[in-house]
Amino acid sequence: MRAQGGLILLLLLLAVFCSTGVSLKCYNCLDPVISPCKINSTCSPNLDSCLITVSGKLVYQQCWRSTDCDAKFIMSRLELTNIKYRCCQVDLCNYKLEEGSKPNNEATSLLEKMALLGTSVLVAISKLCF
């Protein structure tokens, strides 16, 4: 009987941690601006990263899909030839691209962090229940 209670608790925790109810907020100026914009918006569920792209003096900031955080794709989509960019997955993390920063084509995955947290919780529950 105790194993069933542990299984129910496990399923409940998985439902909570795997919820898609959390939406990312990003600075969002679809037209290029000379300085970082101050307009932010909540990203749609399929846009799981914030993007900042700098090309010369133009700055693009918007919600983006982490799988599309690739220099070639970004240049093609924004019709640019030379860019610095960063994708990130923390609210409003696309405010400024630091001077001298390297292009980053790796988005830090919120899903990976949640999986690590979930694994830790599962190990703790298994030790308590079994």
> Could you read off the pLDDT of 71-91 as tens digits, one per residue?
999 999 999 989 999 999 999
Residue 30: per-residue pLDDT: 75
Q: How far apart are CA 117 and CA 93, in angstroms?
A: 22
Q: Residue for token digits 């093609």?
A: 76
Task: State which residues of the chain have pLDDT below 50.
Answer: 1, 10-20, 100-113
Question: Could you confirm whether domain 2-129 is CATH 2.40.160.40?
Answer: no
Q: How far apart are CA 24 and CA 26, in angstroms?
A: 7
Residue 106: per-residue pLDDT: 39
What are the structural domain ranges in the chain?
Answer: 2-129
| 65 burial type by CB count under 10 A (0-12 exposed, 13-18 middle, 19+ buried) | middle
DSSP 89-112: -STT--S---TTPPP---PPPHHH
Residue 20: per-residue pLDDT: 46
Proportion of the chain in helix, strand, coil states, percent, rounded to 5: 35, 25, 40
Pair 27, 50: CB distance under 8 Å: yes
Pair 117, 110: CB distance under 8 Å: no
**Closest to 105 in 3D by CA, of 62, 61, 63, 74:** 74
Residue 38: per-residue pLDDT: 85
Residue 33: per-residue pLDDT: 74
Residue 41: per-residue pLDDT: 94
pTM above 0.85, yes or no: no
